[in-house]
Each structure stands twice: as structure tokens, then as C-alpha cells.
Amino acid sequence: MEKVVMSDITLIRTANGLKLSPDGKYAVYTVIVPDASKNEYQNDFSLIDRSTGSARRLTYNGKNSGALWDDNETLLFNSVRKDEDKPEPIDEKTVFYRLNVNGGEAYEAFSIKANVQDTRKIKDGLYAMKILVDRNHPDPDEVDHDLCKEEQDYHIFEEVPFWGNGRGFVSGKRSVLFLYDEKSGELTRLTGEYTSVSGMAVKDGKIAYVHRTWEDTISLTAGINIYDTDSKETINVLDDGLMKVESIAFNDLGLVFTACDMKTWGTGQLTDFYLFDEKEGTYRLFHQNSAELAFGDTPVCDSVRPGGTTFKGLGDRILFTAMKHYHTDLYELDKDGNVSQVLDFGGGAVICFDADDTSVLFIGTEPSKLSSVYEYKDGQVKLLDDVNAGLLDGKYVAEPEYIPFTDRDGVQIDGWILKPMDFDPEKKYPGILEIHGGPRGAYGTLFFHEMQIWASMGYFVFFCNPRGGEGYGEAFADLRGKYGTIDFDDLMDFTDHVLKTYPQIDAEHIGAAGGSYGGFMCNWIVGHTDRFAAIASQRSISNWVADFGASEIGVTFDSNEMGATPWTDMLKMWEQSPLKYADQAKTPILFIHSLCDYNCPIDQGVEMFTAMKYFHVPSRMVVFEGENHGLSRTGKPKHRVRRLKEMTDWFEKYLKA
């Protein structure tokens, strides 16, 4: 049996964005393929013919995205197929192509002189588009291109956030809703200068959209409007400033949306269903989410790419995905406001789906497996396309063994362990504690490449869902003002539980690794215990006071999670900052960070690294240019391999000495 190796990450394909044709005969989806030779990803479409259940590849140039059905046999999508299709920093462009799925070449349909982020068809020739607009240069035809080229080497900030992870500098930019008439070529703007649109839903000539309006600082809350393309009237559904809105969809009852008022716990994690009746002009609570369901979420994993429909109206129902505890399944909200489970995917994750009255097609990943396309019909799940067929054949894939425990406060904590390859119960092995990000995240039993590498190399790998994570309800998720307390206790108690359950683990040679919130916790651990022999901290937080002013989400996330700002209680924020305890550190620690990470800006890693050097703690920092917060999941293939090598070499040095 072969080992799982680092380079396997450059072979793993992921799928998302599944959509049924209007007549339900076909389903299209995107397959994302790493290309190590070019150090990039190829995005192409595949098609399933539902009459035969067969899957085939549709496109081959690798530069395709945003597919939607223009009719029963024709796709409309964005692509770069000629040199002139390529967008430039100043001359933004989105080129749309059409392709008949039954044969023929893709041909250019039209182009928009802007960055089109999302497109929905309203009727033949009329589309709703979400377009990124710089309010300082709202009309592309009026931009002084020569002046813009001269001014590319500096940026002006007038609001917060001033940068966005994976998006660069965003001050003054908004996602604006437009109508595009293909016949006339006209774009009609529907939302204002300071308004940004996120989610959209379209039905019978009406566009429902989620929007935020701000001038100085963004907020977590959002509003909802409906624009009628026939009457040209806008209907207010929900005022901005009242609730945090997650998903919207039309069904036969009206507009259904999920939202929370953030009053109970402040975390905004557990959202409820609301129904807007256009005839009455009001919305009402339709179903209170008491089942600990995290809508649209999936377990933390480095081998999937979430994206696509997770919330859909179908007749008088709503179908939706939700994570409960550590798996994501398909649920239904019926016409009476009752929620029931439609599909139990056996502990895996339904990534996205589409459905009609006959069946559900979905992209999912089973426990310890990779992305595939399935059909759920008459109570049975059928595999339609194994996107990674044969990739794991003959390799050692450690099966997660469930080892829950009850923590010191009487709360059950779910946890797992991966045994090392060729495990011999008479031998001793090093171990690695993995800590998920978020903290509103959760581990499950999905194939986690990073963990499988270490299991193949002779490590026990163990991981759990400490308090602060999602999928277990608001009380469980509430860490406000408690970072480094109950969550730290859960992780240390879990480590004790693992060592007691598996005496084959050498307690003198265990390490810890984590990113984002997991990186915060690694930084916290190094200042609070010396039980670990080595630590790998990635895209971390070390100083909440500094992060408040530098992070893309500082003014929203940090203030909520700390229960304070630098002006209301700076000491409280400092007390919850790992940097405060850096003088207690002894454990060798590796820091990995990305220069374009604007969720956890690089200063957070640098401050902790500097402290380690100041106090003569063995430490190393690796910084990746051109990468953002998603390095481990969406970074360039070669960078993802290098990241894994840095961590592995660090653990090999200190855990196998």
C-alpha cells in the first residue's frame, strides 16, 4: 500500500456549481483541476445527461466560470478564449459565450466592460447582473486610462474595510445590481452609490437581493429588496440594520430568507426562516431554528471547494443544505414551516445541489473520499461522476475513529483520531493535534489531505470540535470574551483523552497545528503550556488590539468576539491576545503567513515571530507572496505543496528526534 504524499494535492479535483437545465434533462457543473506545471487551476464544465445518467466533459480551455442555462440546451458563461478577452487592471472586462451542449463550438455572445460577479437570467435577452463598481470611477467610458496607469502605485482609503481578502484594495468599491438588455446593449443601474449587493434570487420577472449600505464602516446587518422588472417598482422587504441575512429564495409562498437579529448570543450563527408575503407587504418568522442547523456550511476540509446552490425554492417548499454537528445533509422546509431531513449522506457533506420534482442531483463527498456527483431518487443515492476516479486506489487512507468525550463542564465534544500507516500497537508514535479555523467551523470525517500525509508518515493525528465551533447551537458557539479559556480547556482535555485512549502515542513528542482561529490557538498554546514539542501556526491572530484596525473584518468580527473595542476595554482585548503571554513561550514554533491575507494580516504573524526571537524561542517564519487567507485550500498548487513541506519538515525535526 502506498502513502498519501504532498504532491497528491496537485492531483485532487474538486467540483461545484451544479445547475439543472430548465427542462431537467441535463445538469452542468464546474470541475476545478490543479495544473502544477503552470502553477494554476483549470476550470471547465462537465455535463450529465439525466436520460442516460452518463457524464462527459464539455469545455477544455480551462478558463470558464459562471455557467447558467440560457435555454434547455444552451449555456451562457464567462470565459477567456482570446487575448482580447483578458481583463486588465484598468480595463475590466467580462466576456460571455454561448455553447449548445449537443454539439458545436462556443461563440461569443456579448461582453461587459466591467467585472461581472454574478448573472441571473430574467427572460430571453434580459439579465440581472452583480457588477463590481468603483464609485470613484462609476463609468468605464469616462475613466482617464493614462492617468489611472500613472496612479497604480498608490491607493486611497476613505472607508473600512479598505482591503478584502482575495479582492485586494476595496475602498470605494461596491457590488452593484444592474439590468442588462442584450438587444440594446444597455446596462441599467438599480442600486445606489454606497450600496453593495450580495445574494440574489429571480422569479417571474422579479429580482430579490440582499444589500448593505455604508459610507465609513461596514456592518454585519443587511436589508432585502425586490425589484419588479415589469412595473419598475422596488419593494422593501427588510430594512438594513435589523438583521444579519444569509440566504434568500422564491417559492410559491413568496420570498423565504434566513436571518438572525444577533440579540441572543451575538454570534449571528444560528439563523431562522422568515417568509415575506408580497400581498400583505410584511414578513414573519416562519420557522425558528432549534435543531442546531448551520445553513449552507460544510466541515472544514482542504479537499473541497464549496460553491453553488445550497438554498432553493421548489413548489411550496425550500430545499437547503445544513451542517449539524460534523456532517452536512439535505433538508426541507415545507409549506407549514416544518423542517425535516430529506437526505442523510452518511456522515459526509452535500456541497451543493439542484432539484426538480423527480430527484435531487448533488455534488458531495463521502467520509474519507473526494468530490463526486450523485443523484438522490426514490430513497437511493446513485453515483453519476467520480470526479477523482482511482486517485486514492492503493493508498493508505486512515479512517477517522470517533473518540468523543465529556469536557470538564459536562459538554460532549466530538473528536477523532487517524492511526499511522502500518500501525503496530507495541510501538510508540509521535502525534499531532489539529485545530480548525473559524472559530465557527467544525471538523468531520471528510478526506483531509494534510492529515492523511502525516498519518502516512507515521503520526497519530487527532482533532476535535471544541466549544466555539458551529453546528452545535448558539450556546456552544458563544466565545465572546472567552477566547483562550473554555476552548483551550477543551483542546487540552481532548489531548489528555487521546493520550489515555492510545498509550502508543509518545506524550513527549506531540505537536499542534492550526490556521486562522486554529493559528490563534497555536499562538495561545505556546504561551500557556510546554506540553507540545513543536507547533505550526498559520494565518494567525496574535494581538486583537492591532488586528481591530488592520483586518478586513476587524471592526465587525473582532469587536463582537472580544466583547470590546480598543476604546471600551483595551485591557480585555489584550488579555485575550496571545502576544501578551509570549514571554512564557518555550516550544519551537513555525509561522506561515501570506502577504495578501487581509483577514489575518501579516503583522499578526510578524509580531508573534518577533516576540519569539526576542525571547530566544526556536522559531521560523515562511511568507508566501501573492497568496491570501485561503492558501491551504485555494493557493497556487506549488505553494500548497511548499506549505505542507515546511510544516512536515518542522514536525520531522522536533517530533521524531
DSSP symbols for 437-452: SSSS----SS--HHHH
User: CA-CA distance, 526 to 124, in Å (whole number)?
Assistant: 60
Helices (H), 471-565: 474-477, 486-501, 517-526, 544-550, 559-562
Beta strands, E only, 153-253 = 163-164, 168-169, 173-181, 186-189, 195-203, 206-213, 222-228, 234-251
* DSSP state letter for 83: G
HSE (side-chain half, CA atoms, 13 Å) at 343: 31
Q: For residue 432, give the C-alpha cell.
A: 499531532
- Quick: pLDDT tens for 497-513: 999 999 999 999 999 99
User: CA-CA distance, 452 to 416, in Å (whole number)?
Assistant: 13
Residue 31 pLDDT: 98
How far is C-alpha 32 from the chain's CA centre? 15
- Quick: pLDDT tens for 7-25: 999 999 999 999 999 999 9
- Quick: pLDDT tens for 339-380: 999 999 999 999 999 999 999 999 999 999 999 999 999 999
Q: Are 93 and 85 in contact (CB under 8 A)?
A: yes
* Residue pointed to by grid coordinates 467544525: 442
SS3 category, 434: strand
**Mean pLDDT value across the chain:** 95
- Look up the CATH number of domain 401-655: 3.40.50.1820
Beta-ladder partners of 207: 202, 227
Residue 263 pLDDT: 77
What average pLDDT does the segment 157-167 reach?
Answer: 93
* DSSP state letter for 24: S
Helices (H), 334-410: none
* DSSP state letter for 238: E
Instruction: Write 412-416 long-range contacts (CB < 8 A, 24+).
Output: 413/464, 413/465, 413/466, 413/467, 413/490, 413/493, 413/494, 414/325, 414/326, 414/443, 414/464, 414/465, 415/462, 415/463, 415/464, 415/465, 415/494, 415/497, 415/498, 416/443, 416/445, 416/462, 416/463, 416/464
Calculate what percentage of the chain has a pLDDT beyond 70.
96
User: CA-CA distance, 241 to 213, in Å (whole number)?
Assistant: 9
User: CA-CA distance, 450 to 371, in Å (whole number)?
Assistant: 16
What global pTM score does this model have? 0.96
User: For the chain, what are the domain ranges?
Assistant: 116-140+160-249, 401-655
Residue 272 pLDDT: 93
Model confidence at 89, pLDDT cuts 50, 70, 90, reads low
